[in-house]
Amino acid sequence: MLDRFTKTALVLMVVITAIFLTGAYIGYIGGHGMEGTDAMVEEHAASTAANVEATSLVPAITDLVGEPLGFTIAGIVAGFIVGYLWTGLFRRREDA
């Protein structure tokens, strides 16, 4: 049987995932590429000046494994850290 904390976390996860999927689907059927605004504004800004171009001094993990897998790995690692510490700090004690 799931405890209250796990149930809440699962419901939140489903809601957040549903929001992402709905947003991505609406963008997809609208024909948009869902490009990031950081890159869009940066490209536009660079085009207003001479000899300015975005580069990267470090190899990006997302270039090696792709953005979906790269961000999934990052999310899982960060999620485990947050989840582990969150339950340790905030779990309601049985004797409380």
| Shortest reach from residue 21's CB to other proteins, in Å | 9
Q: With respect to other proteins, which residue has the nearer C-beta, 2 or 38? A: 38
* Residues 70-84 as b or e (16 or more Cβ within 10 Å = b): eeeeeeeeeeeeeee
What is the amino acid identity at position 80? F
Structure-token match 């999927």, residue found: 21
Q: Could you list the residues that contact other proteins (CB under 8 A)?
A: 19-20, 22-24, 26-27, 30-38, 40-42, 44-46, 48-49, 52-63, 67, 70-71, 74-75, 77-79, 81-82, 85-86, 88-90, 92
Residue 47's Cβ-side half-sphere holds a number of Cα atoms within 13 Å equal to 6
**Least distance (Å) between residue 93 CB and other proteins:** 11
